[in-house]
Amino acid sequence: MRPGEESAERGHPHWRFRDRVLDNAGLMDSDTTFLDVGCGEGLLGFGALERGAGTVVFSDISRPLLDFCRDRARELGVADRCRFVEAPAEDLGQIESESIDVAATRSVLIYVADKRAAFREFSRVLRPGGRISLFEPINRFSATDQDTWAGYDLSAVPEISSKIRAVYDEIQPPASDPMLDFDERDLLQLAAEAGFFPIALELSAEIRASRPTSLDDVISRAGNPRIPPLAEVMEHVLTVAERERLTSHLRPLVEAGDGVYRVALACLWGAKPQTGLH
């Protein structure tokens, strides 16, 4: 995501998720030090400042995004309340142990291979009594055993479907890719293993008919930032005849909304116990 994309769209669901993460983090005041892990454009961090947090630490592996947040902090006149740390979620070594009151993420762990290490780091940097508040999509929920692409039935074109699935499975192996290798139960387990108690998790899941749209629009969009759109895959692995056959098969399904849309989103929050409380 390029700097400026999120902030330009206040009606985007990202803002609703931001508010939910901040609500679950608990009330903030001038004594609160808030850590926005994988901050991106700082949606959580600047929201925490709006809610009264005294200090916000913006951390991300992307220097351009950290620079964006730094410039934004200057524009808002809050630079003196901000720190900027270039670090991955699983190695926050530049942040002192027990120096943070709230650690929060928004769609960050889906990019982290060693999620267990990330939870350990969250626990390490939090003060006793500190809180985590996380939002993560559960992409594994979208996977099915049926022969489909993006919820559209491809059982009528099995050879073509097999070629397409092979490309995506090679890029993102379902059993090991960070975006696909966990669900809400794993988040709970990882939080518990890291010592958080109590822990709460809410799962929002939806299965419904796809909305009618244009085929060109659907095949030109990538399902996530790490994979190519279907149009690109078709160009590289299908013959002209196969592309025409797939297009003829998909177009009426997509335009009629004759597919299945599946999505699951998890919010988890919890506390690092005071010493000796459990």
Give the mean pLDDT of 152-158.
96
Nearest 5°: the CA angle 94, 56, 15 is 120
What's the rounded Cα separation, in Å, for the pair 56 and 192?
26
Same domain, 245 and 113: no
Same domain, 194 and 215: no
pLDDT above 50: residue 6: no
Number of domains present in the structure of the chain = 2
- pLDDT for the residue numbered 13: 54
Say if pTM beats, i.e. exceeds, 0.95: no
- pLDDT for the residue numbered 253: 97
Same domain, 108 and 236: no
Give the mean pLDDT of 54-67.
97
Residue 227 is assigned to a structural domain of this protein: yes
Residue 4 is assigned to a structural domain of this protein: no
Same domain, 120 and 239: no
pLDDT above 60: residue 120: yes
Contact 116/196 with Cβ under 8 angstroms? Answer: no
What's the rounded Cα separation, in Å, for the pair 182 and 35?
23
Domain range enclosing 224: 144-173+211-258
| Tokens coding 39 | 């901050």
Helix (H) or strand (E) holding 70: helix 63-76
What's the rounded Cα separation, in Å, for the pair 64 and 110?
20
99: CATH: 3.40.50.150
Same domain, 102 and 219: no
pLDDT above 80: residue 275: no
Same domain, 84 and 191: yes
Q: For residue 190, give the amino acid letter.
A: L
Same domain, 45 and 98: yes
Residue 3 is assigned to a structural domain of this protein: no
Which residue, among 196, 34, 44, 55, has the nearest Cα to 135 in the 3D structure? 44
Q: What percent of the chain has pLDDT over 70?
A: 94
Residue 51 is assigned to a structural domain of this protein: yes
What's the rounded Cα separation, in Å, for the pair 238 and 166?
12
Which residue, among 132, 257, 104, has the nearest Cα to 199 in the 3D structure? 132
Give the mean pLDDT of 256-264.
96
Same domain, 150 and 73: no
Residue 5 is assigned to a structural domain of this protein: no
Same domain, 92 and 156: no
Q: List, for residues 160-190, the tens digit of each pLDDT value.
A: 999 999 999 999 998 899 999 999 999 999 9
Matching residue, tokens 């995004």? 65
| Tokens coding 188 | 């709970």
pLDDT above 80: residue 40: yes
Same domain, 135 and 152: no
**DSSP at 115:** H
pLDDT band (50, 70, 90) for residue 230: very high
Same domain, 84 and 118: yes
Same domain, 123 and 61: yes
pLDDT above 70: residue 110: yes
Q: List, for residues 189-225, the tens digit of each pLDDT value.
A: 999 999 999 999 999 999 999 999 999 999 999 988 8
Contact 22/133 with Cβ under 8 angstroms? Answer: yes
**DSSP at 94:** T
What's the rounded Cα separation, in Å, for the pair 36 and 56?
7
pLDDT band (50, 70, 90) for residue 14: low
pLDDT above 50: residue 89: yes
